[in-house]
C-alpha cells in the first residue's frame, strides 16, 4: 500500500487528529497529534489492512528555531510466511511524526503497543529529553516522572544530543575539560 492510501485510511478513521502529511520526501510521513497518538498507534497495529506490527526505530529531531521536538516512529508490517518459502515478507512501510513543544516535552508512550518502544523511548529521553508519560520503566526524581536513562549514567545532568547542550566540566571528581585553562563549559 502506498503512503497515500494509508493516510486515506487514517483520515477516514480519525479525521482531524491527523495534523498533516508529506509524501515528496525520501521518508514519507504523516503527522499525528500527540494526545491521540496511543489510539492511532493501536489502530495502526491492529487494523487488518495495515498491520504495522514492527517498530523499526524511534528517532527524534531538535528543531531549535521552531521550538519543537519531533519523535519519528518508523513502522513496518512483517507478515509471516504464507505458503512456499519460509521467509517473512515486508508489506507496508510507514512513518509517523509526533511533535511536542520544546519547553515542556511530553509524549504519551506506545510501549504497550510495540514492545520495542520501551528501550527506544528510554534512549530518546536520555539523549534528547522528551519525557514519555506512563512509560513502564519510569523513575521519579527531581526532574519528575520520566523513563529511566539507558546510555548515560543515572545521575547525568542534561540531555547530550540537544542543540544547546553544554559539555560537563567534571563528573564526580573526574575532570572532563578538553582545552588547557578551560574555565567555562563549551558546546
Partner 1 sequence: MSWIENRLEDGLIITSLDWAINWGRSCSIWPMTFGLACCAIEMMAIGASRFDVDRFGAGAFRASPRQADLMIVAGTVNFKMASRVKRLYNQMPEPKYVMAMGACTVGGGPYYKNGYHVVKGVDLVVPVDIYVPGCPPRPETLLEGLMRLQDMIKHQTLARDRWVTAKDAALTPETAASN
Which one of 87, 172, 183, 184 is in contact with partner 1 (CB under 8 A)? 172
28 binds partner 1 (CB under 8 A): no
73 with 95: CB under 8 angstroms? Answer: yes
* Shortest Cβ 128–partner 1 spacing (Å): 14
Sequence-distant (6+) residues with CB within 8 A of 70 are 60, 61, 63, 97, 98, 99, 100
176 binds partner 1 (CB under 8 A): yes
**What sign has the CA pseudo-torsion 128, 132, 136, 139?**
positive
Q: Helices (H), strands (E): how many in the chain?
A: 3, 11
What does the CA dihedral 119, 122, 128, 129 come to, rounded to 10 degrees? Answer: 160
140 binds partner 1 (CB under 8 A): no
Which one of 25, 103, 142, 178 is in contact with partner 1 (CB under 8 A)? 178
**Residue closer to partner 1, measured from CB, 142 or 178:** 178
Site size toward partner 1 (CB under 8 A) is 14
169 binds partner 1 (CB under 8 A): no
139 binds partner 1 (CB under 8 A): no
163 binds partner 1 (CB under 8 A): no
Amino acid at each position: 500500500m502506498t503512503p497515500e492510501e494509508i493516510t486515506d485510511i487514517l483520515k477516514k478513521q480519525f479525521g482531524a487528529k491527523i495534523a498533516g502529511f508529506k509524501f515528496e520526501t525520501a521518508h514519507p510521513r504523516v503527522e499525528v497529534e500527540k494526545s491521540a497518538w496511543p489510539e492511532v498507534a493501536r489502530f495502526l497495529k491492529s487494523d487488518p489492512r495495515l498491520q504495522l506490527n514492527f517498530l523499526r526505530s524511534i528517532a527524534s529531531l531538535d528543531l531549535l528555531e521552531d521550538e519543537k521536538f519531533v519523535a519519528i516512529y518508523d513502522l513496518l508490517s512483517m507478515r509471516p510466511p504464507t505458503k512456499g518459502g519460509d521467509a517473512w515478507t515486508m508489506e507496508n512501510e510507514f512513518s509517523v511524526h509526533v511533535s511536542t513543544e520544546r519547553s515542556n516535552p511530553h509524549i504519551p508512550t506506545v510501549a504497550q503497543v510495540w514492545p520495542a518502544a520501551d528501550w527506544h523511548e528510554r534512549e530518546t529521553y536520555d539523549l534528547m529529553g522528551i519525557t514519555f508519560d506512563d512509560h513502564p520503566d519510569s523513575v521519579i526524581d527531581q526532574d519528575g516522572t520520566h523513563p529511566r536513562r539507558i546510555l548515560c549514567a543515572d545521575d547525568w545532568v542534561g540531555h547530550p544530543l540537544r542543540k544547546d547542550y553544554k559539555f560537563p566540566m567534571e563528573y564526580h571528581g573526574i575532570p572532563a575539560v578538553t582545552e588547557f585553562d578551560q574555565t567555562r563549559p563549551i558546546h
